[in-house]
Amino acid sequence: MATRERGEDVDVDRPSALHSTVEPGTVVLVTGGARGIGASLARHLAAEGAAVVAADVVDAEWDADGLGVTHVRTDVSDEASWRHLVTTALDRHGRIDALVNNAAVYQGLGAKRAFTDISVEEWDRVMAVNTRGVWLGMRAVHPAMKRQGHGRVVNIASSTVHMGVPYFAHYTASKGAVIALTRSVAREVGQDGITVNAIAPGIVETEATLALNDDAYLAAAAGRRAVPRRMEPTDLCPAVSFLCSRGSGFITGQTLIVDGGMAFS
C-alpha cells in the first residue's frame, strides 16, 4: 500500500468522488483511542491506510500490531499533554492531516442522575474533558494544519443533544457545547483550508454503554429507530472516514447524526 513520505505535500483539498475514504498516509490523531468507539475508529482508519496516532489517558486495550498505530498517553483536559501529543505526531510523521476529538467522560459517570443531584465537581470534570478537551485539541493542531493549508477536524458529539435525554444533564450540555464549538471554529478556520464538523452518534453498544444502561432500555432504543437494530461502534467508522477525507473538503460547520434514524435534524 502506498504511503506518503514524511512532510510531503499532497493536494488534499480538491474534491473527488474517488476520495470518500482517507487517503493512504493521511496522518490522523484519534483521542480516546484506547478502547470503545475510539479504538474502533483508530483501527478502521489505520486499516484504510492512515497513519494513526491514538491518544488516551489509559493504556490501549487492543493490539495495534501490523496497523502502524502509535499510542500516546494523553490527558485531553490538559494543555501540556496536548503539546506533547502534537509534538510526538509531528516528530514521527511531519504533519497532522486530521483530528478526531472522541475522548469523553461517559462510563466514568457511573449512573444517570437528576440534574439536581449532580455535584459541582462532577459537572466540572465532564466539562473539562468533553468540552475543554475538544477546544484544546483544535487549538493545538491548528498551527500545523494552517502551515499545511489543509486540515480536517471531526468532533464526536451526541444525539442526546437533539433528543433531550433526561438524567444526563452534564453529559448532554457538554456535547451541546461541542456542536457550538464546531460551528464557531469552522467559521474561523475555513480560510486556512481547515474543515470542522461534528458527528452525533446515537447510543452505541460498547462496554461503557452496557455499564450505564440495562438491556431492556437498549432493546427499546433499537426498536425506535427507522433502521430498527442495535448500533455498533463500526456504524460510525465510514462517516468519520469521509469527514477526514479529501471528498469532504466543501463541508464544514455541520453536525451529522448517525443513529439509525431516531433523531432527525
Q: What angle do CA 203, 209, 214 make, to 5 degrees?
A: 100
Asked if residue 84 lies in contact with residue 18, where contact means CB atoms within 8 angstroms, the answer is: no
Task: Dihedral sign for Cα 136, 76, 153, 263, please.
Answer: negative
Whole-number Å distance between alpha carbons of 51 and 72? 13
Task: Dihedral sign for Cα 213, 216, 219, 223, please.
Answer: negative
Phi, psi of 125 (to 5 degrees): -65, -45
Which of 250, 254, 253, 189 is CA-nearest to residue 17? 250
- Which grid coordinates are listed for 60? 490501549
Which of 36, 89, 41, 90 is CA-nearest to residue 58? 36
With b for 16 or more beta-carbon neighbours within 10 A and e for fewer, the 214-225 pattern comes to: eeeebeebbeeb
Active site residue 171: yes
Any idea which residues carry the catalytic annotation?
171
